[in-house]
Amino acid sequence: MPDQKAFQVQFQPIGKRIVASPDVSLFEAARESGLDLASACGGEGNCGQCRVMVLAGQTTPPNLDEEFILSELELQQGERLACCTFARSDLTIQVPRESLITGQRLQIGSNLREIAPDPMIHAYPVTMTPPTLEDIRPDFTRLMDALAEAHGLRGLVADTAVLRTLPAIFRDNRWQVTAFVRGSEVVGVVAGEKRPLGFAVDLGTTKIAAYLVDLATGEDLASAGAPNPQIGYGEDVISRLNHVSRNPDGGRVLANKVHETLNELLDELVYQTEVSFEQVVDACIVGNTAMTHLLLQLPVRQLATAPYVAAVGTSVTVPAAELGLTMAPGAHVYIPPCIGGFVGADHVAMILACDLDEGNTTSLGVDIGTNTEIAIRKPGLSVLTSASCASGPAFEGAHISDGMRAASGAIEKVRITETGVELTTIDDAPAVGLCGSGIVDATAELYRSGLINHRGRFDKENGRVGNGRFGAEFCLVPAAQSGSSRDVLITQKDVNEIQLAKGAIHAGLQILLEATGTPPEAVEEVIIAGAFGSFLNVQSAIAMGLFPELPRAQYRQVGNAAVIGAKWMLISRHARQRAEKIAQHTTYNELTTYPKFGRKFALGMLFPE
């Protein structure tokens, strides 16, 4: 039995000192102290990304996960997985560069157009006269009278949460305040004169991206990102839904996890911009249908089993307080409508931000993530058609032996030459792993160089192909030159994972084209959305068969369109109306029940001949 004494843990070379209780892993303890170690599995002992070196002190012995992932030599040298290691004395820990999440590239910028703000909420500054024995109007009546006089507003109401704040704010600020009004509702009152802000969020299965926006000007004030904390309950959507269906308290726990992270992001944005929480008066959160159901604690059992029915498909407006968000006391959060059980509000947001619901070209929109959503617009069709494919997290670096997030030292470009490998890393730092774009580049190059065949098998006869723990492998960076003092490899298992992902996406694209009677040569535009897609080398993606060879198509990489769509809905009532229409007028194609889905999937796994 560990005793409940807490230990001092010093992390080198950053010099951070934390306190770790013996029943909390070093990974958890570090995270609680604000030190984020890399992880794809969320601290489950699966991904091997949170490697650390124990330089001094006693810990629990290595467990089976560590013995599987770490080599005997690495274990002998004191290398450990932080998520499997518990302090048994004060410790000194070396954190290799690749285990530290530093300066992760924020991939929420975009090259989409700007729209004119038309927000739900406006700010109205007023000055009131204080009460006297001759004028005992209640505080809220006094505010309403002032708003009527100064701004012509009438018939206002407010939540009790807002009403509770009035007496102190009025009396502490000489009766000079700004009221934030949404329709006929006062959602918050703040001291002095302040502008109204909004919180736009893309709640991804793997990552969460957020913006703080000035509602009146549409200006982005700050952005922030974080891993989805539900990852510990399953990397994929179905595992999380099953967890909730099986555990009576699961829905509450998973919802709270996300609420906490959203609040931390909001915290960070508010801190960055030096504004007050009470100014944040509106929010829009998009995500796939499972993520929004989990966020709202809606029942998911019927979503996890055939025929996969959502509890709610319409937009939902919910008090920010219900999601535990520290915002203006009367603020609400808008969750846009979804299209089907597996095509969510994030897809609606993507369609919106890419203007796929407007315009006259034959266009494909592809949002690559753990699930990849595809929409097609075709002139003459009154509706959009969309589909969702389970592409898995390979392109986000998970399930890839040296996969990593797009952080410093991640390989993002690869060229395999006759004599060696040329590569580019983020920040030009020594290579420690591959991010999504590097994975695609590397795979395309392996195929181009004949190191793998069109079925994805390594050519074991080739002298450049090695043989490692997971079978055939190719070394991109030898240990001596890497930033981690270990080889950076692509293994046969990695190639297989990538093939599964590209097979799913390829099948989805093909089926959608067939279902709408669109010959490939008719496609004029392919919009690639998503964080991964924005850094992708499109030529490599075509070369490896991730995207089909579309003769006339222009490829356009637009970044995280979902969060841009969320921002549009945040700042514009018109955008919300468009979103409602998109949801109503988009038909969903269930791929897995489509004839010959299996065959199309298998063909998509092959490399183009």
Residues that bind a copy of itself (CB under 8 A): 131-133, 135-141, 144, 157, 159-160, 163-164, 166-168, 171, 296-299, 301-302, 306-314, 316-318, 322, 338, 340-341, 588, 590, 593
- Measured distance between the N- and C-terminal CA atoms of the chain, rounded to whole angstroms: 60
- Cα dist from 382 to 349, 360, 365, 585, whole Å: 19, 11, 17, 8
Shortest Å distance, C-beta 580 to a copy of itself: 11
Shortest Å distance, C-beta 529 to a copy of itself: 24
Give the helix/strand (H/E) hosting 282. Answer: strand 280-287
Residue placing its CB nearer to a copy of itself in the complex, 308 or 518: 308
Say what the alpha-carbon torsion angle 48, 52, 53, 54 is, to the nearest 10 degrees: -110
Shortest Å distance, C-beta 181 to a copy of itself: 15
Residues pairing with 319 in the sheet: 332
Residue placing its CB nearer to a copy of itself in the complex, 250 or 530: 250
Phi (first) and psi of residue 570, to 5 degrees: -70, -40
User: Is residue 88 classed exposed, middle or buried when 0-12, 13-18 and 19+ CB atoms within 10 A define those classes?
Assistant: middle
- Cα dist from 318 to 198, 349, 354, 574, whole Å: 15, 18, 26, 20
Give the angle 434-436-437 at the CA atoms, nearest 5°. 95
User: Is residue 192 classed exposed, middle or buried when 0-12, 13-18 and 19+ CB atoms within 10 A define those classes?
Assistant: exposed
Say what the alpha-carbon torsion angle 43, 47, 50, 53 is, to the nearest 10 degrees: 120
Residue placing its CB nearer to a copy of itself in the complex, 309 or 479: 309
Residue placing its CB nearer to a copy of itself in the complex, 226 or 318: 318
Q: How many angstroms separate the CA atoms of 557 and 141, rounded?
A: 52
Shortest Å distance, C-beta 339 to a copy of itself: 10
Shortest Å distance, C-beta 323 to a copy of itself: 10
Residue placing its CB nearer to a copy of itself in the complex, 322 or 549: 322
Shortest Å distance, C-beta 572 to a copy of itself: 20
Shortest Å distance, C-beta 164 to a copy of itself: 6
Number of residues written out for the chain: 609
Shortest Å distance, C-beta 588 to a copy of itself: 8
Residue placing its CB nearer to a copy of itself in the complex, 478 or 598: 598
Residue placing its CB nearer to a copy of itself in the complex, 106 or 253: 253
**Over the range 335-367, which residues count as b (16 or more CB within 10 Å of their CB) and which as e?**
bbbbbbbbbbbbbbbbbbbbbbbeeeebbbbbb
Residue placing its CB nearer to a copy of itself in the complex, 52 or 187: 187
Shortest Å distance, C-beta 226 to a copy of itself: 24
**Contact (CB, 8 A) for 114 and 218:** yes
**Contact (CB, 8 A) for 42 and 104:** no
Q: How many angstroms separate the CA atoms of 233 and 250, rounded?
A: 10
Residue placing its CB nearer to a copy of itself in the complex, 5 or 164: 164
Residue placing its CB nearer to a copy of itself in the complex, 275 or 582: 582
Shortest Å distance, C-beta 311 to a copy of itself: 5
φ/ψ region of 172 (left if φ > 0, alpha if ψ in -120 to 50, else beta) reads alpha
The residue assigned the tokens 């690749």 is: 98
